[in-house]
Chains A and B, each alone.
Chain A
């Protein structure tokens, strides 16, 4: 192929004397000024934060729903039934009233036993 040795004046772009502005510069000037360029690390951090936040919200919702479920299934404790038959020895009403107090004292003698915990000591100390 033969080399063109002439200058095509109809196509100014082909003029070697003309200074053509850098394409990259021109494209950068076209970008909007307020657009932030984020590094991949920050993006990852934001994504992780968002996941944590979503999990936190989820846990809150689940806890709330579980609490409300527990409340609804709580069983109200019933009163322990009182035995209807009492010990014959503790029924003092049959005893003549002048002797009731004295008899009661006698009958409860075992409750007056010494209530003193025995000291628990280590005898191997110092050996």
Chain B
């Protein structure tokens, strides 16, 4: 090999070796970024929701003041102030509801594997979040009291779905937690080698049946103009399931204590 070519090959190899070393050094220095756990994300979204709630309360108080001023003086300036304050409340209220729905959606990630209904509810929550986002782009274009009134009617129709889905998500989250607890009870019993299949199966079936009844209450068809509150009925089934779950936990405790003796 001619000497010039040899020198070039050597310098290229030298360069590649340097490059490789820098690359290795870089990989060692950079720490990997892990995905946030559902609990972290829930805490973050919850904080944002509480902030949005404070913002809404401030804007709502301001709106009430402007409304009172307009009712008192009936001037065009006061009317314009009231329109602007109303628009701010609309925006703030949508942001608040969006933050709430997001928090609920993320909260459902915990124990989501215990119910096949959870992904569907999460998808519906996402759709409502998108609707609220779209509305916040339209609200700045509302310029008269008539525009505001029409939009308020549209919102109230959609609010029935928002409320129904919110309570469905709350019920679903409670169902999933109880199903997860039931599963943990069985796992602990298996680990402790407790033979209680008869006791467990009968109690477990009853609990699952009550949880299904709680879910069924959420599926009632809502009126278009008014939200029908199903949560008290769902809560009644959830409380009944809690009583049976507590009994099962007491039984498990007895079996575990017997295991020691």
Contacts and interface: CB of A to CB of B under 8 A. Distances in A.
Interface string A84-127: 00000100001110010011011101101110111101111111
Contact of B191 (A89, A94, A99, A114): A99
A118 B166 contact: yes
B135 to A, nearest CB: 13
Given A89-B249, A96-B260, A126 B103 contact: no
Interface stretch (B2-10, B151-159, B210-218): B151-159
Given A118-B166, A119-B96, A126-B151, A109 B104 contact: no
Main secondary structure, interface of A, reads: loop
A103 B177 CA distance: 15
A72 to B, nearest CB: 45
A105 B86 CA distance: 47
B188 A114 contact: no
Nearest to A97: B260
Interface stretch (B15-23, B29-37, B195-203, B250-258): B250-258
A99 B96 CA distance: 43
A103 B256 contact: yes
Contact of A126 (B152, B253, B257): B152
B242 interface: yes
Contact of A116 (B46, B180, B259): B46
Given A121-B56, A125-B152, A126-B90, A99 B256 contact: yes
A83 B148 CA distance: 59
Contacts of B97: 119, 121
B256 A95 contact: yes
Given A121-B97, A123-B159, A103 B250 contact: no
A110 B53 CA distance: 26
B151 A116 contact: no
Contact of A125 (B49, B50, B89, B242): B89
Given A94-B260, A102-B188, A113-B177, A119 B100 contact: yes
A110 B257 contact: no
B125 to A, nearest CB: 13
Nearest to B103: A116
B185 A106 contact: yes
Contact of A110 (B149, B151, B166, B242): B242
B107 interface: yes
Interface string B113-156: 00000000000000000000000000000000000110111011
B260 A106 contact: no
Instruction: Return the 4 tightest CB-CB contacts between A and B, nearest first.
Output: A126-B152, A109-B181, A126-B148, A127-B152
Interface of B: 46, 49-50, 53, 56, 60, 63, 86, 89-90, 93, 96-97, 100, 103-104, 107, 148-149, 151-153, 155-156, 159, 166, 170, 173-174, 177-178, 180-181, 184-185, 188, 191-192, 242, 245-246, 249-250, 252-253, 256-257, 259-260
16 contacts: A89-B246, A89-B249, A89-B250, A94-B257, A96-B192, A96-B260, A109-B245, A112-B177, A116-B100, A116-B104, A118-B100, A118-B166, A119-B100, A122-B89, A124-B152, A126-B148
